[in-house]
A and B are shown apart, each in its own frame.
Chain A
Amino acid sequence: MVNNDAQLYTIEGLAAAILMVVTAYFVINSTTLLTPGDTHITDMQLEQLGADVLRMMDTAPHFDPNGANIYERKESFLEDELSRDFRISNEITEFTQNFNRTFHDYAGESLHVYPTVYYWDGGNVQRLNIWDFSNPDAPPFTNRDHYVTVTRWVYLNDPKWDNDNKPRSVLLEVLIWRD
């Protein structure tokens, strides 16, 4: 028979059930599954780190009062290195060594880096061949790595790789990935 005994037990049971179900919902909801398309947090940190490293590499370490003009007095590592004559293969080898060493000095050894330079030839975007893939410290980039891209505009007053010998702004695009 239906009577009105134990009403408090019923209410308590109901409250406990709701509490348990909602708690279970939150607990299950609090676990995340990290899928390759869902790596925002590490990507954000890597991108920030990369942008900061390129900024340091594109800042003159000290003011050189003996420079001929303001460009030379405040010439940065990147401005200097990207002006090399990349038509000579020895220059590419040296650039790869110097870039790798400086990048790892700033960013640590656990990162890998692969830079590319793009420039505008007046009609098209051209890619400059700057990287020595045979360098043992520069492991080749495979598309299976999860990388982020950071870029830096670099102003070159007198790029030696360019036949025109006029000032250029080039885009340095760097792929960075972890092991």
Chain B
Amino acid sequence: MEGLNEDGQWIILMGLIASMIIFFFALLVNQSIIVGKTTAESVLDFPKSDIQDLRREIMRIWECNPDVQDDFFISIESLALERKGALIHVHIDTPNNMFNLHFNNGVTEYNENYYR
């Protein structure tokens, strides 16, 4: 290339490196915004507390009232459907000393057989 001045090549190279670093930082900041948001969204979507609370409630009922029958849980099933939009079914299997629990709120489905 005729007439091209080849002085100051280090300065130009350093400029390129500096711009690459700035670009990389911009990328990090950009990604960090999305991370907090999507994590919070998925935590909100997942009914972790609802399921833990329901399990504990069944165990508490069972503990206080060992002869409890399935029809006691109609109240929980109806309340959950009306107030929380979740389909719950609890079945106590006294001979096998276990209960099974079904939970579905349209997003998350959870089934459990719990043996005492």
Interface residue ranges, A against B (CB under 8 Å): 5-9, 12, 15-16, 19, 22-23, 26-27, 29-30, 32, 40-41, 43-44, 47-48, 51, 55, 69-71, 74, 118-120, 125, 150-155, 157, 167-171, 173
Contact = CB atoms under 8 A, between A and B. Distances in A.
Interface in B1-20: 1-4, 12, 16, 19-20
B83 A118 contact: yes
Interface residues of B, number: 43
B42 to A, nearest CB: 9
A32 B40 CA distance: 15
A22 B60 contact: no
Interface string B89-114: 00000000000000000000000000
A16 to B, nearest CB: 8
A154 B54 CA distance: 10
Given A23-B22, A40-B40, A70-B64, A120 B78 contact: yes
B55 to A, nearest CB: 10
Interface string B61-86: 10111000000111110111011100
A29 B54 CA distance: 42
Nearest to A152: B53
A7 B1 CA distance: 8
Nearest to A42: B40
Given A8-B4, A70-B64, A169-B76, A151 B44 contact: no
28 contacts: A5-B2, A5-B3, A16-B19, A19-B19, A23-B19, A27-B29, A27-B30, A30-B26, A30-B29, A40-B40, A41-B36, A44-B40, A44-B41, A47-B44, A55-B53, A69-B64, A118-B79, A151-B50, A152-B53, A153-B56, A153-B57, A154-B57, A155-B57, A155-B60, A155-B64, A157-B65, A169-B79, A171-B84
B68 to A, nearest CB: 8
Residue among B1, B29, B63, B64 with the highest chain A CB neighbour number at 10 A: B64
A110 B36 CA distance: 24
Given A153-B76, A169-B61, A171-B80, 17 more contacts: A9-B4, A30-B33, A40-B44, A44-B44, A51-B49, A70-B63, A120-B75, A120-B76, A125-B82, A151-B53, A151-B83, A154-B57, A155-B64, A167-B61, A169-B57, A169-B76, A169-B79
Contacts of B29: 26-27, 30
Contacts of B4: 5-6, 8-9
B64 A157 contact: yes
B83 A26 contact: no
Given A153-B76, A171-B79, A22 B43 contact: no
